[in-house]
Amino acid sequence: MYYMTNQPRSISCNIAIYPPNNISRRAINVSRALLKRGGLFAIDGKNYYPHITIYMAEFPRRNIKAVETLLKKITAGKKPFRIESDRYHQSRDGYVEIGFKRTKAILLLHKNIVQSLNPLRDGLMRPKDLVRFKQFSKQKQKNLKLYGYDNVFAEFAPHMTFTKLGRTDRRVIGDLSKQNFSFLIKEIGLFKSAEHGACRKIIAQFYLS
């Protein structure tokens, strides 16, 4: 069961990897440069946080504490591990991002979080996904029905978004200087999500140990 709510009783959340300061600064600099190329927003570490999404979902507010409890349990049992950056990418709808390799460790973390938190949705789907539901592929529609998020499991592609361009410009990727965004994952954040999939507010932070 899934349904739309316009009530403030639910909240759109982004469970995401929170990069260390040096990687965040690197991403912020790239994002600021893209803002001059028509970016619709810039990550700054205050209003828009650099992040690598693991799972996005709509949760009833009454379940947020339970979400925090499960995330604390999951991260407490995980040792920090390295994630390797891959290449720049621009999606068809204008998002500019750096991809990361789909290693066994990151896929396992993704799977654990999705399977653990999914029941706490109580069948909710993010309002924005309900509005555009028919635009998704059949597989992504299935993912949305079952997990409230289209990019789960086989569709999961870890990445860090710098901005979204007002219009697609393929020259942008070629103009970006090659940089290494690899780092040791030590922190996971539970964020309130906003337009463009951005992380706008930190609800809670969790540390791998």
Using one digit for the tens of pLDDT, what is the confidence trace for 20-49?
999 999 999 999 999 999 999 999 999 999
- pLDDT at residue 197 in the model: 86
Which tokens in the block code for residue 29?
A: 């600099």
Which tokens in the block code for residue 15?
A: 């469970």
Rounded mean pLDDT, 117-140? 96
- pLDDT at residue 68 in the model: 98
CA atoms of 35 and 162, how far apart (whole Å): 9
CA atoms of 110 and 119, how far apart (whole Å): 15
Domain boundaries defined on the chain: 10-207
How would DSSP label each residue in 9-49?
TEEEEEEEE---HHHHHHHHHHHHHHHTTTBS----SSSS-
- pLDDT at residue 77 in the model: 86
CA atoms of 191 and 18, how far apart (whole Å): 10
pTM above 0.85, yes or no: yes
- pLDDT at residue 3 in the model: 43
Does residue 202 carry a pLDDT above 90?
Answer: yes
Q: What is the pLDDT of residues 139-154, one digit of tens each?
A: 999 999 999 999 999 9
Pairing of strands 95-100, 81-83: unpaired
Q: What is the pLDDT of residues 90-111, one digit of tens each?
A: 998 899 999 999 999 999 999 9
CATH class, domain 10-207, is: alpha beta
CA atoms of 157 and 159, how far apart (whole Å): 6
Average model confidence (pLDDT) across the chain:
94
Q: Residue 92 burial (CB < 10 Å; 0-12/13-18/19+)?
A: exposed
